[in-house]
Structure 1
């Protein structure tokens, strides 16, 4: 099947490629030039040669020198891996497309290294692979053979074409066995093979007028590939002379720019027959049906005319097989070779083989800027090129190798004077009618960090209000740098120093990109009124350059402090009073309110006002000095206790204030004042706290009482049920004793009882507590002897079995007694607690 044949073909191709690679992949140095061999149709990435090893170069030299391949052709078949020093296939190579029938097939390239500049020519030979089968130009061959044709007459057949070369090209023909014809293979002087069928047995048109033959063409590749064509033979009547060309080989030369329709050559043939049998027609025998061959032949005159365009650079010669035929099918053949002559129709092509587009401004004269390749596809003088550069530029052109030039500097460059150059190269060939081309490119001069940043101001000053929010932007400093790129990329930093013993980074931060200074701290004008910072601008050059500037930040005052009253001193828990004798005149100085404000300016200007007073008609306050004076004569009707409230305000926006209470006693003697001021109401806060503690104590006592009551009742009920179960069971009887009785030894006692007396007076501060001694003890002694134990147990059991036995009544009485005891004990604790609080209050008020 076709799929199996394809797989077999691919297998043989793989074997051939492996053998070819083993045989030809090694490079050899001939006359200073490295040659490599590589089979065609290799996939991308296949190893071609180790140039680093063959040239004796270190791989690091290839990397440092930015090694690259320079190939004249537009299609880059191979590429260089500089990290390994290997040349590998970059694009599938079609030998037939590259060289057609030319053998050996090769193409040249150069390896370019920089710093210093080196050039190594390399030739890569492309080995043929049997990737094409022989193909006949037509699907079917028609032959007209006269029946009178003598046995042994040969008939030329259309040759098969195989674009492969060498052993992979066409090697032999084979004819399917038949009765009348045999195959003869011939070779031309140039080595090409063609086939003839020879009449082996005379034809008889009356017996068989048509014969179908199959011709095969086989190449010599591994695996072999073949092509077939059908030969349709029509038997004609007798025609015993075949036409013959006047020449066995025709040659012609034509310029590549000749116009279409031009007559290239005329061929002719003679036929010994006369009349109709002597008519000869001409045609090409090797063309395919869809061929774009640029020639055609007149079948009657033998004139060969140009029908397309010629291009010396694409194909320099054509080989054509010509055949003539008489009306009865006798044929003759010849060969035509047309050589194409070169015309200067290609302008030089300028290629930047190595060009970065940039050069440093501190590069010394003679620095290589670019490696330029100039190619002209024409031949001879038509392909010889001269390269020039425009004048008045600090560059020159130097020729290094064939078709290669270097552009070098002639003087030191300065980016600040000229940051780029527009360079135009002109390439002119040496033909009689010369052709030229131009290549323009821009060379940028890269910057060197030779300029330090410069601030617009030596000192920057700004203001900030105190109590500012942390993170607020204070100001932005900016510097400029005439350099370019990274050398002009500025970063801003705060110079480390101390402010009030702390690093400056505690108070401020700066954005490195923008130079924006922000506060990290809420400033207080009363602590610090001014900050001095040093800001550094650093560029991104190597080494970096920097400059400094000073930033002064002044803190502005804000009315953030209320006035503080120094006198009279306000203390909690004490009453301070100023005395005014009843004989005081108008304007008597009672006291002076002294206040200060730590703010500054108008925020510290204080004014005094009388906000409230027991008698506003008796006193006044100086608005500027805070002096409290009487505004009228004191009389006997004026109250002894006078309470004044003075408000102190500053002049800020908004203003802040403080109040002070002044107690004034209108009396003539100190004892009178002392007795009156002892009745001032107690502190309300303490009364509120006392009420809270009393309520809390009452709640705790009540909770403890209820909890104990529930626990005792639960325990008594549980024991009573256990005793009932015990006495009704058949188990041995264990004596049962009521709770709180002593054990069988008779050492237990009932709890002690305490008596106490509470003595209360109308004045809670003078109350007292009196505790009594412990009351009498009732001791119940049990008989320690065992006499009558069982009888007593039986009697107790009978008593417990009765619903209202005396023992059960006794238990109830004990429970009631315990409840009463707990109740009065807890309430006693509560009363003691109240008495203690009241005693504490009385002592405090006495002070």
Structure 2
């Protein structure tokens, strides 16, 4: 190793690359094992004592274990021989990349060791001997091409200079063309004389510019020939040709022409390649000099070809002329873009924010110029995605707009890459982007509220209604469960809802006389995270059945009625009865039993006992029994009977009787004439009340606020019922109402109006999908 190399080794430095944090060292090639490279631990800011505990190690990115680190002192040294020519060839920059890894905590450092070239390769000629034939008639300055030497080193170590020894007839020159290609020529320095020297043996030496200088030699054997003293001459020393890539085999490239001033066979010329570089891609016709394409010419492989052509005559000795063919390959658009698409966020959650990266796209086009310029687009248009250029030919597929899985569950898109060549070439890649569900939809009922009619005395556990809510989400986000707050007593003792099917059950028989309305909220909740919920109000109206017979309130069974002789129409007494039912079921009528005889009749709806003719004293000899039947209008009707005794008072004394009896000797009451008047007044009153109730009910439903709680309390319901003959009766009785009304815990008065057309119910007590009810229905739902 010379002093210069030793100085370079001693002054070996390290530097951080700007912006990358990479440690850089240099070392000469062919350095011996153990040669110091750098204090890597110190340069990385690591203590020597922590190298072993932190598992300090060096990994090479390529083959070969060229460097190692002494873990005792943190010094990077040469481990094995590094041959720059073997590692990097003729590349001007030769580097070995190392990765330094330490644990606890994990850190990774990048180290670049640049291998410097040394002059370790001597110039080499392709053959140890070159033979030339030179006519003695050649004039000075005639030039003969030689095969130059090659040097595997680079830079000044590969810069060669040539010299000849032991001759004054020839000199050697180097010629550089505009493509920086060096040609070596032998120049005739003075005229030759075959008679003096027929063969010149010359040693050609090639010396490089390294330190120390290395040399290579070749023996030149120059034979001086007589006669043929004119060599072929090309009309140009350099021919320039432009050729499109991918031309077909046999395409004519150029036809260089040489001229020989001799005659006969000395004038006949044969053409050939003087170098072997182009023989694989081109052919030359030996007689005409036509150069044609033989293989595939690809611009992406080589853009310029430098071909040396020799024209040799057939004289003896043969003479030759030379020229250079420079073929420039023109690029055509023969490479379509190559696309790589890497999904990053697939599927895309439907709550993703615009700007999230869905996929990364990289595009490569091996052509050059406009043929290699690529534009990228997204098809079809109108999708909620867009392409964002992050670097040359690098794109990100990002979400441009919010997406909703319930509207579109997945998107199929095509990324199209198109170059600017003519004709344009393109590549495409398809991507299906599914949208994943999030729980963003609460269950929804088809109606804001439901009204259900249930006949009283239902069997325990009867199914009275089915709730149904829908959720457009999927999987567990659409799995709905139904529930009622069971803590709200006493609602839980009356009603239950199945959590999965939404079926509403009556847990016990309902009694209209005790409970007329159940109003509660059913909640539907999905299984998403977080769970979403919605409520619906359900009103269950208990429909009365004729399960109570009329009861008599006066007079008592067997009571005696006293009557004085009077004319027809005289009121003897009045029967009072009540029915715990409502409507038709509580509408009573009074009749005399068929076994009863005498001048009596009873008011059909008033219960008043009236004489049908004048009585005389002869009929007062004995009492008469009246059997009165009190019957309601239910189906089937229920009834009760009572027996009263009527006695005729023969004297004229005025007798005052108890409640319900007429005065003795009083004038007759024309009750029969007043019945029609009463009926007209009743019908008008009830019709007005009915119309008012309808208006109040509609106004209440329009102004109804969401109910927050369920309360329990008593209330009085007024039932207004029309008779078959146009007369009316009223039944006011104590009732209980369970209702979900926020802020009302006290009593509540309700006016409940029923038309004579009683709803029809089914036998099984179900209402199917809110459709029109079939005859004999037991449950009616009002929408």
Larger Rg: 1
Judging by fraction of residues, say which structure has more strand.
Answer: 2
TM bucket normalised to smaller: 0.3 to 0.5
TM-score, scaled to structure 1: 0.37
Higher relative contact order (CA 8 A, sep 6+): 2
Judging by fraction of residues, say which structure has more helix.
Answer: 1
